[in-house]
């Protein structure tokens, strides 16, 4: 986790580490844990706002049940987005494979042409 990322999370209100007298940040265990969650959520494709929503959900006086339907909804939207992205990437993969194969073919053909032309 880069320094800049931590700064960013804090700037966005996702994180609020305690400050020492000098102004230096002190990351407690809870912060570390939270950072892990943040990274996880980011890796799932969530945005800052969605993550803050999740957090405000999770830490609102223990009763996080009313948030569950919302979480499920957001999660499903994200899932749909991920699947769309997967589709796109898979298509790009096969396309690119074809292109590369074609280029290789052109290279070989050019090599042959050179050989025969050099005779």
Q: How far is CA 17 from the centre of its chain?
A: 23
**Binding region for DNA (CB under 7 A) out of 21-29, 61-69, 88-96, 108-116:** 21-29
Which positions lie near a second copy, rule CB under 8 A?
A: 40, 43-45, 65, 68-69, 71-72, 75-76, 78-79, 82-83, 85-86, 88-93, 95-97, 99-100, 103-104, 106-107, 110
* Residue in 25, 53, 57, 64 binding DNA, rule: CB under 7 A: 25
What is the size of the binding site for DNA (CB under 7 A)? 15
Rounded to whole angstroms, how far apart are CA atoms 5 and 12? Answer: 10
Residue 90 is encoded by which pair of tokens?
């898979």
Residue 78 is a binding residue for DNA (CB under 7 A): no
- Residue number with CB closer to a second copy (30 or 40): 40
Distance (Å, rounded) from C-alpha 62 to C-alpha 72?
18
Q: What are phi and psi of 18, to 5 degrees?
A: -65, 150
Q: Judged by CB under 7 A, does residue 2 bind DNA?
A: yes
What, of a second copy, DNA, none, does residue 80 touch, CB below 5 to 8 Å by kind? none
Ramachandran category for residue 2: left, alpha or beta (phi over 0 → left; psi -120 to 50 → alpha)? beta
């Amino acid at each position: 986790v880069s320094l800049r990322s931590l700064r960013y999370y804090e700037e966005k209100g996702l994180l609020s580490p305690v400050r020492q007298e000098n102004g230096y940040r002190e990351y407690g265990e809870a912060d570390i844990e939270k950072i892990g969650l943040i990274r996880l959520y980011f890796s799932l494709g969530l945005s800052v706002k969605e993550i803050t929503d999740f957090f405000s959900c999770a830490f609102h006086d223990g009763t996080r049940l009313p948030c569950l339907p919302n979480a499920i909804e957001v999660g499903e939207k994200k899932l749909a987005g991920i699947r769309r992205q997967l589709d796109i990437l898979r298509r790009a993969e096969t396309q690119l494979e074809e292109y590369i194969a074609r280029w290789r073919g052109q290279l070989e053909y050019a090599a042959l042409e050179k050989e025969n032309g050099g005779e």
